[in-house]
Amino acid sequence: MAKIGYARVSTRDQNLDSQIDMLKAVGCDRIFSEKVSGRKFKRTELDNCLDYLRDDDTLVITKLDRLGRTTKQLIELSQHLEDNGIDLEIIDMNINTKDAMGKIFFTMMSGFAELEASLLSERTKKGLESARSRGRVGGRPRITQEKVNMIVSLYHSKTYTINEIMKMTGVSKGTIYNVINQEKLNT
């Protein structure tokens, strides 16, 4: 029945000290910390922390956004904690899922976060539909057939490197390879 802390900042320039001090002040037995974006799917120290936690332990964080920035991350994480009998304590919100109020609050926050994500997705879809109705398709403009022919010709001449072809045509290395691979498929 240990208290295990997790601290995270998004950039290397930020400092973990204040979070670590808060986690120590509430009696964390061990603290995992890292400097990585909350949007990243792979967060090594969070994974290590979750592996370390056992039934009846409490994961302690300073703020909810330390765990994740997306609804999906938070929902998956809360389900993992619940499935493994691990409680969650959020210091700045005075929330602890050991009590009924903490559980309902966390459930409601997850619900609001999911609602927000759904509304954002809905607004994005409506915006894209509106743009399409005005003739806008989005994305990068396609390269001209003339440029495609130039890339193929330069590549097959075996005179120029990919970097030289990039400079001559003004397109990325990926685009050059896509053009060449598409040309191979068509022949």
Q: Looking at the annotation, which residues are catalytic?
A: 10
Q: Using CA atoms, how far apart are residues 103 and 60, in angstroms rounded to an integer?
A: 14
Comparing C-alpha atoms, which of 50, 86, 84 is closest to residue 67? 50
Nearest one of 26, 11, 14, 13 to 94, comparing CA atoms = 26
Cα–Cα distance, 87 to 133 (Å, whole number): 49
Q: How far is CA 58 from CA 88, 94, 98, 150, 185, in A?
A: 5, 14, 9, 62, 56
- Helix runs in the chain, H state only: 17-25, 44-52, 71-83, 100-133, 145-157, 162-169, 173-186
Q: Distance (Å, rounded) from C-alpha 41 to C-alpha 43?
A: 6
